[in-house]
Structure 1
Amino acid sequence: MKVREEKLKSIIEWSEKNADIRILLLTSSLANPFAPVDEFSDLDIEFIFENNTNYISDKSWILNFGNPIAMIEEDESCFDNKHAMKMVLYEDGVKAD
């Protein structure tokens, strides 16, 4: 899906310019050459931040990748203050976790 590839490219480009991001890791079916990929496959991305505090409290960075129409999140308290998860469905139909 071209839209999904463009979204991934924009996330990579944003991450490369962001000094807070140490690692960007694509996981799940899109990273596995043996897994089936279809139009419903989403972007499962792990951001490893130097300091994630601002990204947990201020969610405006999510707008860099498009207009979200739905979001589900678990904050850092769910993971002993070490991890926070966001699932975002964008207006263009791409879902990123």
Structure 2
Amino acid sequence: MRFEILALALIVGGCTWAFRFFPTKADLSGIKPDGILARFLASTGPAAIATLFVASALPMLTADVPVPLGLGTAAVLAVFASTRSVVMATLAGSVGYGLAVWLL
């Protein structure tokens, strides 16, 4: 393995760990609910989900018929629009994608 790849993996892994660990240990009781820090912390979850979606969807877009991708995405959007639950939307997307792969 090349040193550059190992160094990059360690840096990204360390930053990811720090980004997930330190907010759980910080005392956030003093921040304003409509302040910039609160808005930043509230947006990290959807931003991470969007990043993972793009990274996983790009290879599927080169396929001839990306039906499972379309059904999974539609399930996520429909459930999130109706429930506003990220957990339920993620599970619905997984089930929709899995069913489409299994049926096709």
Which range, TM-score by smaller chain?
Answer: 0.3 to 0.5
Greater strand proportion: 1
Tell which structure's C-alpha radius of gyration is larger.
Answer: 2
TM-score (ref. length: structure 2) = 0.33
Identify which of structures 1 and 2 has the higher relative contact order when contacts are C-alpha pairs closer than 8 Å and 6+ apart.
1
| TM-score, normalised relative to structure 1 | 0.35
